[in-house]
Structure 1
């Protein structure tokens, strides 16, 4: 099977999965008319037209080779000296963030050119041209060109995108990575408003990443509601909603947004806030990236730094004590609402039947690892009170199960950034990964013990990992975003826990890919959908082909979001999967065509 044919098979499988099991693959993958231009079509811009765009961008239009091509002797950029360094860097998120076309996961570029000479290599999975934007005007020029020439347009900030929205073949990409700049404010007056907002704030260019923002903030004794990985960019993170170490204290990251500068699909550079362009201001805070326009800068609230107390909890059992382990896991999850009501949050991993060679665990175990934390923002919150709460939590949830081992380690940091720099190494990358997610409310966690136990077991089959992150709660529910509301999934306003099922497979193993993708959708996340049928999923960490994604990702907000999408992007200059208003198009053989 040729490389192109292999990608067609994978694309057809995923598209059929999205439409439903009753749709035949041949039907779902039949080409349709009215497609975006491709290099093989007569409507593709000429070399002269691309050169003209490059001149208007002062040479900032890139025509990048596949990043892994340096390891392939048949490629023009082959370099035997450089190749080993690329192979090593490939496994880190920083490499993909800093490259104009690469993405964190290989599968979103169709595995077309991995840095291993035994694998095939082509540019088929990557954008053809990239606008290396450094300002909003650069973005506008790229958007205008794509709209006028009918070229598929995508947006990449960092490539830290688990749904593949920042990757696409036969496309022009707006790369916002180099739109920099961080400015702090003691108070902030939104443009066009007659008032100032009396809060510290920070304005960041679209290319700003969380590590940069956290570092600059802590130097001013401030903290922002930001992502947990250093390479996360502000654009995709905030437009998706953004859970955080501080979401249980202050609300979602999107709830902190005071103002956005953006470029619309029509090419207008707009300032959106509660006083002007209110519909876009509402939609851009939770309605998803790469949809309503391209964010070029954003201003968000900042908060004083506080002492950051943490408890690292480890739980494990032998495979012979599996039932006891799942009882303890169910106990823990059922106590999460009570724990969160005391201000505690956590990020947790549950693994079934796994080995951990780096920890010398070579015999399979069931395991849990969690980092629980509490910013000490109130006089009643102390390191001693936090320790009491966490010790009581562990004692209660493990009582009666001596065969399940546990440990708890307390550490207190002077501020969040000190914790972050100690507890977070570079994020990995360069593999084939897919996620699925579900938000869980108090009913799902406390209403039926047996159903909760069954669901979390089904969500975590042998050899796999499920995250159960305690990042919701009353401060997310009761958040007061500027303008009165935003487009964050209403399910977040009821949720305590954000669960994520994670799976991976070896590149080019189509059978494994199909099995894992099907399992994560029809078994693992389906078990959590059944547990919490009235909830939804988090758009930035979700199954890309989520059934009824409109309801799952945006609930009752979807009709208004769709109306705004149609108003500001009537010809679908921006399109992504799964995004608001994408129903009129699908991808066939790497070509975006109207249905």
Structure 2
């Protein structure tokens, strides 16, 4: 079948990097479960001797290096997510209060292919060295960092290959348009190849610098997920190195249980994914954005506005065309930042005009902080950096380091997360049953208003699939995600980050961070009055979530635990809130 190479594997000269975080604000990377006591550490009996490390270096083509942090420090680049990505000792988040700290590994294998990965996995298993994996480095739970570890860094595995008609091996399935992606790729590069250049769509993440492999294994949402489903739902084949050092190609016919686990069973638990093949879709003609900010002048007016929006969403917007978020904030502030696809601007404007007109008719009750704005553009340009630079330069930032090619950019709104130190991050799936009756809507409105008065409470409508098409729901039902995602109209997120723990400035303020965390938890408690049994998204959940097995996977957890026991009986792959990371009683 035709295979079109789009981008070669890139060599990066920037191998070392980062800044040590200061102040003891966390516990280090999460090392959960009984396997913790069996890992050896430098200076302990059993830690590999210099000759054994040298042997691993030869096995991976001399691409083994000591871990660590760079000298001199490039502090001015610590807000550049691509710079952070290029440093093996850094991760996109620098830590979480009372949770984890970004820490460089003892050694790093800069893998080029699955053979390098397999050598590293076998070495770690034989010597009981803590193993971690990093692609894009985005993990709010610290899954890609641990001290005294061996890091498998997939940074250079950046091949992207388009397929006009691919049949996964041994499946006999009908051929489909697809893209094969190396584990080191980030979504901006994939969108550039699939959408900007080829005019197709692949369901991926919203943030340009998120790694492909981690997002898919977590389930994965993007701005258009209500239309195209989970990123994991488009996975049709994967190459993975399992704990026994075997390189496997898995799909619906080969190791089908493991393949299912990779579709939303959580990153870092099953092995090291080295390549993924994802179905691509017809690109819609248009995408667009709605922006609006309103401040209510009284508590009563605020509740009335939230109630009007809930009605609008339930009656008009809960369909495959609409995604992204609306927030309620302290100070009776209402903020809209939604995206749409497959609609023209006039149609989108018509959907919002009843609420816009209602607010405009009540100037004594509402102040307009940002007028209602609705724009649309050809979908092919959504991730086209040159087009965005020419038409919306304020929306993006460029990686302007000298000598870096190709030119890469990130969304300006995501820049605050580069190196961020997290104070709190909680999520809950909100069932569409709340929208089915006036009483349910009232409970939802009361809970959202109460939570929003305590902390910014955002409903991410693309991260709940209620309102999607039957085909989209069917594909997402065949994943390992908590089935609640199918019946949820949104994922509620309440979070806060502060200044980075990297750099030479003051360390994060622990007292302030804990105060913010307490407020975040109070806000989520208020919201859960409307949805007390709501599950949580494993990639965006509370670090201290007590019932994480049920919350993240629901009834799927028992099956996932059995798959984990089969493919990783020794517990080599352990991450916080990962399947099998604690004893299941």
- 1:316 pairs with one of 287, 294, 302: 294
- Please point out which of 399, 411, 414 is paired with 2:375: 411
CA deviations 1:243-289 (Å, max 9, x no partner) are: 12221112111111111111111211111111110001111000010
Preserved contact between residue 332 and residue 397 of structure 1 (Cα < 8 Å): no
Cα distance between partner residues in 2 of 1:12 and 1:309: 42
Query: Is the contact between residue 432 and residue 466 of structure 2 (CA under 8 Å) also seen in structure 1?
Result: no
Correspondence for 1:192: 170
- Contact 2:421–2:508 (8 Å) recurs in 1: no
Could you tell which deviates more after superposition, 511-520 or 284-293?
511-520
Normalising by the residue count of structure 1, what TM-score does the alignment of the two structures yield?
0.81
Distance in 1 (alpha carbons) for counterparts of 2:579 and 2:127: 23
**2:484 paired residue number:** 491
Deviation at 1:570, TM superposition (A): 0.8
Q: Residue 388 of structure 1: which of 336, 350, 368 is its match?
A: 350
Counterpart residue number, 2:60? 57
| CA positional deviation for 1:348 | 2.4
Q: CA deviation at 1:504?
A: 2.5
Please give the secondary structure, in 2, of the residue aligned with 1:460: helix
Instruction: Identify if the C-alpha distance between structure 1 residues 500 and 11 changes in structure 2 by more than 3 Å, giving closer, same or farther.
Output: same
1:473 and 2:466 equivalent?
yes
Per the TM alignment, residue 342 of structure 1 is displaced from its structure 2 partner at its CA by 4.2
User: TM-score of the superposition, structure 2-length normalised?
Assistant: 0.82
* Aligned equivalent of 1:339, options 294, 297, 316: 316
CA distance in 2, matches of 1:63, 1:461: 48
**Contact map agreement 1:256 1:481 (CA 8 A) in 2:** no
State the match for 2:12 in structure 1.
Answer: none
Task: Find the partner of 2:329 among 328, 335, 352.
Answer: 352
1:568 maps to 567
Moved more, 303-312 or 435-444: 303-312
Matching residue of 1:211: 188
Separation in structure 1 between the aligned mates of residue 60 and residue 187 of structure 2, nearest angstrom = 28
Match of 1:453 among 413, 421, 445: 445
Q: Does 1:503 align with 2:481?
A: no
Coordinate RMSD, CA, aligned? 3.2
The correspondence of residues 279-318 of structure 1 with structure 2, limited to 5 A, is 279-317=257-295
Match of 2:89 in 1: 101
Cα offset, 1:411, TM superposition: 1.3
CA drift of 1:298 comes to 0.7
* C-alpha displacement of 1:396: 5.6
Structure 2 CA distance, aligned partners of 1:341 and 1:505? 33
Unmatched segments (≥5 aa) in structure 2: 1-19, 389-394, 397-410, 500-506
Report the alpha carbon displacement of residue 465 of structure 1 after superposing the two structures with TM. Answer: 3.0
* d(CA) in 2 for partners of 1:485, 1:147: 32
Q: Which of the numbers 237, 242, 259 marks the counterpart of 2:237? A: 259
Partner Cα distance (2:133, 2:290) in 1: 37
Secondary structure, counterpart of 1:567 in structure 2: helix
Given that residues 37 and 44 in structure 1 are in contact (C-alpha distance below 8 angstroms), is that contact kept between their aligned partners in structure 2?
Answer: yes
What residue number does 1:137 align with? 115
Query: Which residue matches 1:430?
Result: 419
Residues 1:221 and 1:176: Cα distance change in structure 2 (over 3 Å): same
How far apart, CA to CA, are the structure 2 residues paired with 1:547 and 1:33? 19
Tell me the equivalent position of 2:339. 373
> What SS is found at the alignment partner of 1:475?
coil
User: Partners of 2:94 and 2:360 in 1: how far apart?
Assistant: 40
Matched ranges for 1:4-15 at <5 A: 7=24, 10-11=26-27
- SS at 1:148's partner residue? helix
CA distance in structure 2 between the aligned counterparts of 1:141 and 1:268, rounded to whole angstroms: 10
Output the CA distance in 2 between the equivalents of 1:432 and 1:147.
32
**Does the Cα contact within 8 Å between 1:460 and 1:501 map onto a contact in 2?**
no
Q: Please state whether the residue corresponding to 2:293 is helix, strand or coil.
A: strand
Q: Please give the alpha-carbon distance, in whole angstroms, between the structure 2 residues aligned to 1:307 and 1:202.
A: 20
Match of 1:359 in 2: none
- For the 8 Å contact 2:30–2:142, the answer to whether it is kept is no
| Residue 442, structure 1, aligned to residue 425, structure 2 | no
SS of 1:187's partner is strand
The answer on 1:327 being equivalent to 2:301 is: no
SS in 1 for 2:337: strand
My pick for the range that moved more, 476-485 or 341-350, is 476-485
Structure 1 window deviating more from structure 2 (440-449 vs 246-255): it is 440-449
For residues 168 and 461 of structure 1, what CA distance do their matches in structure 2 show? 37
Structure-2 residue corresponding to 1:591: none
Moved more, 415-424 or 199-208: 415-424
Over 3 Å counting, the alpha-carbon distance change for 1:101 and 1:150 in structure 2 is same
Gaps (5+ residues) in structure 1?
A: 19-27, 68-76, 114-123, 354-364, 586-594
Task: Return the alpha-carbon distance in structure 1 between the equivalents of residues 341 and 349 of structure 2.
Answer: 13
Partners of 1:248 and 1:216 in 2: CA distance:
22
* 1:456-491 superposed Cα distances (whole Å, 9 cap, x missing partner): 2443355x4332111122327753667972202211
In structure 2, the partner of 1:202 is: 179
**Corresponding residue of 1:73:** none
CA shift, 1:220, in A, is 0.9
Which range is displaced more, 236-245 or 278-287? 236-245
1:115-137 CA-to-partner distances (Å, cap 9, x unmatched) read: xxxxxxxxx83221111111111
- Structure 2 equivalent of residue 158 of structure 1: 136
Counterparts of 1:33 and 1:234, CA distance in 2? 28
Number of paired residues? 526
- Retained in 1: the 8 A contact 2:226–2:319? no
Deviations 1:415-474 (Å, cap 9, x if unpaired)? 153367434524321221131111111233564344323422443355x43321111223
* Mapped partners of 1:54, 1:324: distance in 2: 66
Distance in 2 between residues matched to 1:231 and 1:13, nearest whole Å: 22
Task: Spell out, residue by residue over 1:386-424, the C-alpha distance to the aligned partner (whole angstroms, 9 max, x if none).
Answer: 221122344467875752234222212111533674345
Q: Cα deviation per residue 1:206-264 (whole Å; 9 max; x = unaligned)?
A: 11111101111121111111111110111110011111222111211111111111111
Q: Contact between 1:310 and 1:371, CA under 8 Å: does it hold in 2? A: no
Between 303-312 and 37-46, report the one with greater CA deviation.
Answer: 303-312
Distance 1:460 1:484, change over 3 A: closer
Residue 584 of structure 1 aligns to a residue in which SS? coil
Q: Is the 8 A contact 2:264 2:480 kept in 1?
A: yes
Aligned mates of 1:13, 1:195 — CA distance in 2: 42
